[in-house]
Amino acid sequence: MIDAAEIIRSRTSILFVTLDSLRYDTARTAYDNGLTPALASLLPATGWEHRQTPGTFTLPAHMAFFSGFLPKLPQPHQPPRLWECRPPAFKTVLPQTFVFDAPNLLAGLAQHGYRSICVGGVTYFSRQTPLGSVLPDLFDEDHWRPEFCSPEPDSTRHQVDHALEIAERYEDRPVYLFVNISATHVPHGHYLGDSRDTLASQQAALAYADAHLGRLITTLTAEHRWLIILCADHGDAFGEDGYQGRGIAHPVVMNVPYAAILR
């Protein structure tokens, strides 16, 4: 078990990456077929963990994440949570869980000297609409550009370059660096030269993003210890049982990849 309470006490920086809309089966197949070598070198030997999301599209999933609720195992017994808001007096929390006395995780980390930084991807992080400001408003600083969004074929490179540039500014204090990877969100048919978005094109999008994600993690952890959390916020349906998209409680939407690494 990762001792998140000790991690916060030791002021260890945290990288939280959400691979937007990435289905568990997409991530698992890409891992098994050797299409994501950079991530495979960083993940546990068993690869991606199969978990289930608390939200079926970007907004509710991330609101849950930033409130302390990460994806859960699809089983009755759950491991201790990494962090949670101070519970009612009758509830017992294990000492390894970081308990924050604030309305959200980012405000709780700020009480311990962390600076929260958002490198957005999809438009829920863009501030282009009223809803597009809800999630960025939780952070001390947020960054979004059109080239970070999924219509841009090289979005992950732009995001990683920007994230690394920002991280250099805060080498003297702990940070909570959040990156929402948009490449795996529709549209991604362009990774196969097609206008259609399919399971195969999402896999190609993940294969594209792999080297840049590997570069992000290896650069950040070259001289300092980081807690790395990688997961999808939800999946996407590509015609299963007649469904398309997200925002539905279908298994392909609910099942997501997850990994937590102390490196």
Residue 50 has φ and ψ, to the nearest 5°, of: -85, 120
Kind of pairing, strands 115-119 and 175-181?
parallel
Which domains are assigned to the chain? 4-39+52-71+93-246 (3.40.720.10)
How far is Cα of residue 27 from the mean position of the Cα atoms in its chain? 13
Do residues 261 and 44 make contact, with C-beta atoms less than 8 angstroms apart? yes
Tell me how long the chain is: 263
Sequence-distant (6+) residues with CB within 8 A of 64 are 54, 55
In this prediction, residue 112 carries a pLDDT of: 98
Find the farthest-apart pair of alpha carbons in the chain and give their distance in angstroms, rounded. Answer: 56
Q: Considering the entire predicted model, what is its pTM?
A: 0.98
Residue 235 has φ and ψ, to the nearest 5°, of: -105, -170
Residue 131 identity: L
In this prediction, residue 42 carries a pLDDT of: 97
Do residues 58 and 122 make contact, with C-beta atoms less than 8 angstroms apart? yes
In this prediction, residue 1 carries a pLDDT of: 83
Say whether 246 sits in a helix, a strand or coil: coil
Rounded distance, CA 29 to CA 64, Å? Answer: 27
User: Residues in the chain with pLDDT < 50?
Assistant: none
Token reading at 143: 């960054």
Q: Kindly list the strands in the beta sheet with 255-262, ordered across the sheet, starting from the edge strand earlier in the chain.
A: 49-52, 255-262, 226-231, 13-19, 175-181, 115-119, 141-143
E strand or H helix at 230: strand 226-231
Token reading at 9: 């006490």
Rounded distance, CA 93 to CA 77, Å? Answer: 15
Bond from prior residue into 187 cis (ω within 30 degrees of 0): yes
